Structure 1
Amino acid sequence: MPPKPSEDQLSRRERQIMDAVYALKQATVTEVVEAIDDAPSRTTIRTLMRILEEKGHLKHKKQGREYLYLPTRARTRAGQSAMRRVLETFFGGSLEQAVATHLSDPSADLSTEELERIANLISQAKKEGKP
């Protein structure tokens, strides 16, 4: 049984690697190197992928001469965990403060449709009795 992914924050490079693996669904070291714009060496990527595996974020299987890496949990579950950490770290756990900060950012270009979907999500949460 692989270890549970740690709640430690990932480094910038580790996040880039995870983004590439999630985008590709599964990836070799070569594919990750090709997917990252300013990628470091293959050796560095291989080492970071091994570290991500040790942390429980990736698993691998043998494919020919290379390893094929897969995420250990769905992107949405990883995103939920990351969101909790961001809320705690930057907003004292307050989703309201996080949303207010985002909405007050002039570069946050939300469409009318996005705002309607957010309003509908809030309405649904109220109906379900979520605090």
Structure 2
Amino acid sequence: MGKTSLQDLGKRERQIAEAVYRLGEASVADVRSEIADAPTYSTVRTMLTLLVDKKVLRKRQEGKRHLFRPATPHETARKSAFRNLVSTFFAEQPVEALATLLDVSGELNDEDLDRMNQMIEEARRENR
């Protein structure tokens, strides 16, 4: 079975995978405590095992506990999710995604705006 992306998961699977991403590495109990209105322990354990089978997570054993961690680095998963978001909601127009981000971000301080400017300048240099 090939690797499954987070976008291809069901709502509860995605919620559990996102909890593991936030925690970095987690036991079943850790995941349950991270999720509001969490399913039963055995349900979470089963779903974590399914996410390992789908190659979304990896598992290691520490004593009697099983610990789960992301199979894909957080940055890679984040970029993939954002590409999907831009494609789905912004007709593959990153400028529209940026405009919406600026619109919903509230007040950005000068440091945030300077950092964005630096990124834009770096992108300009790379595109030449």
Fold agreement, TM-score > 0.5: yes
Greater shift, 15-24 or 78-87, is seen at 15-24
- Residues 45, 86 of structure 1: alpha-carbon distance in 2 compared, 3 angstrom cutoff: same
Equivalent position of 2:114 in the other structure = 116
In structure 1, give the amino acid aligned to 2:21. Y
8 Å CA contact 1:102, 1:108 repeated in 2: no
Greater shift, 51-60 or 11-20, is seen at 11-20
Equivalent position of 2:23 in the other structure = 24
Equivalent position of 1:4 in the other structure = 3
Equivalent position of 2:55 in the other structure = 56
In the TM superposition, 1:1-131 aligns within 5 A as: 3-6=2-5, 8-105=7-104, 108-129=106-127
Q: Percent identity, please.
A: 37
Unaligned runs of 5+ in 1: none
Cα RMSD, aligned residues only: 2.1
Structure 1 ranges of 4+ moved more than 4 A: none
In structure 2, give the amino acid aligned to 1:45. V
Shift of 1:51: 2.1
- Residues 108, 49 of structure 1: alpha-carbon distance in 2 compared, 3 angstrom cutoff: farther
Greater shift, 83-92 or 38-47, is seen at 38-47
How many pairs were matched up?
128
Shift of 1:7: 6.1
Instruction: Give 3-state SS (helix, strand or coil) of 1:61's partner.
Output: strand
TM normalised by structure 2 equals 0.86
TM normalised by structure 1 equals 0.84
Shift of 1:79: 0.3
Larger % of helix: which?
2
8 Å CA contact 1:22, 1:71 repeated in 2: yes
Shift of 1:39: 1.4
